[in-house]
Amino acid sequence: MYSKRSFQPIRLIVLSVILVFQTLCGSMVLAEETALADPPVFRGQRAMELLIEQCEMGPRTPGSPGNRQLRDFIIKKARDAGLTVSTHCFETEMPMGLSPVELCNVVVSAGPRQSEPGTRLWLGAHYDTRPVCDLDRDPALRDQPLTGANDGASGVAVLLHLMELMAKDAPNRGVDLIFFDGEDSGTGGAPGSFCIGSQKLAGTLGDFSNPLDPVSCQGLIVLDMIGDRDLFIPMEGYSLRHAPEFTREVFSRALKLGLPAFSMSPGRAIFDDHVPFLQKGIPAVDLIDFDYPPWHTTGDIPQACSAASLQQVGKLVTNLIYRP
Ligand SMILES: [Zn+2]
């Protein structure tokens, strides 16, 4: 039996335990609230895994088994994440004397389905890779297809990891992730032979078959060659000339976040998937590091890329999604 004296300390202990428990619970609730208030954390290492996974599928040339495998992978991943998927496919002639193929752009939508005018964010990357390594030093290797770790897989890896984040934390704003096909089969000196998928998608905006709504769009950010270990992203020329406000807004955010790869300096003009949209009056910016020695060579492999570079670009777009 307990005497009154021996009971007191026990009561104190019980009370203390309850107090400690309540305090812990309180701080747990607080921590959870803070976590929800902060944008989800984009992990460069996870994006790097997704970059390698794409390269392991082999070349993703339009019409190839690798291209098909990656498209199916994107679609499955989007459906598993509970996101909306639309495909935009069409038959087309191909440059470089290649046989006609069916190209398929894939659009994955997250957040609210309906958006006010000028509020949805479009993020794009090309998932196809170049059929040849025509700039390789070794002439014997120039007819090899590109691995495309940076030129293809890097932008797609960022979008794939964003899907994982948006599956857990649905964004308040509407977001459309656009996976372009047929970007990189063109011939030098003929810009129109590149970006076939995006030309078709931009050229049919407003049509019934097109999953994108131009009225609700705030702007398009294209991610291309953003995995370079030695990353430097200036303001691409066409973006700056035709969408100066949107371009400056995106780069100012990068500087505010302290991302060292981004520079407000003007860069060269590059015909990329953003150009057909600029021609249609959609504000669009191309985030691209064109200073990449293994470009269109057999050296465009995962070792030329880094998780730290993917992390910087991923952090920027995550912030823009969750902090419009
Ligand atoms: Zn390329």
State the pLDDT at residue 25. Answer: 45
State the pLDDT at residue 29. Answer: 44
Q: What is the DSSP string of 290-302?
A: ---TTTTSTT-SG
Q: What is the DSSP string of 273-296?
A: TTHHHHTTT--EEEEE----TTTT
Polymer length in residues for the chain:
324
State the pLDDT at residue 30. Answer: 44
State the pLDDT at residue 27. Answer: 46
* Cβ atoms of residues 223 and 126 within 8 Å: no
The Å distance, Cα 298 to ligand 1 centre, comes to 12
State the pLDDT at residue 96. Answer: 80
How many Å is the maximal CA-CA distance in the chain? 97
Q: What is the DSSP string of 91-114?
A: EE--STTPPPEEEEEEEEEES-SS
* Cβ atoms of residues 215 and 137 within 8 Å: no
pLDDT, mean of each 10-residue run, the chain (324 residues): 43 49 47 59 98 98 97 98 96 86 97 94 98 97 97 98 97 97 92 94 94 97 98 98 98 98 97 98 98 97 98 98 95
The Å distance, Cα 190 to ligand 1 centre, comes to 14
Could you give the CA distance from residue 10 to residue 204 in angstroms, rounded to a whole number? Answer: 76
Residues pairing with 120 in the sheet: 217
The Å distance, Cα 313 to ligand 1 centre, comes to 19
State the pLDDT at residue 95. Answer: 84
* Cβ atoms of residues 201 and 146 within 8 Å: no
The Å distance, Cα 23 to ligand 1 centre, comes to 56
The Å distance, Cα 152 to ligand 1 centre, comes to 7
The Å distance, Cα 130 to ligand 1 centre, comes to 6
**CB neighbour burial string for 228-250, b if at least 16 within 10 angstroms, e if fewer:** beebbbbbbebbbebbeebbeeb
The Å distance, Cα 266 to ligand 1 centre, comes to 21
Q: What are phi and psi of 51, to 5 degrees?
A: -65, -45
The Å distance, Cα 184 to ligand 1 centre, comes to 5
For ligand 1, a single-atom ion, which residues have Cβ within 5 Å? 151, 184
Q: Any idea what the Cα angle at residue 121 is, between residues 249 and 230, rounded to 5°? A: 60
Could you give the CA distance from residue 46 to residue 162 in angstroms, rounded to a whole number? Answer: 10
State the pLDDT at residue 184. Answer: 95
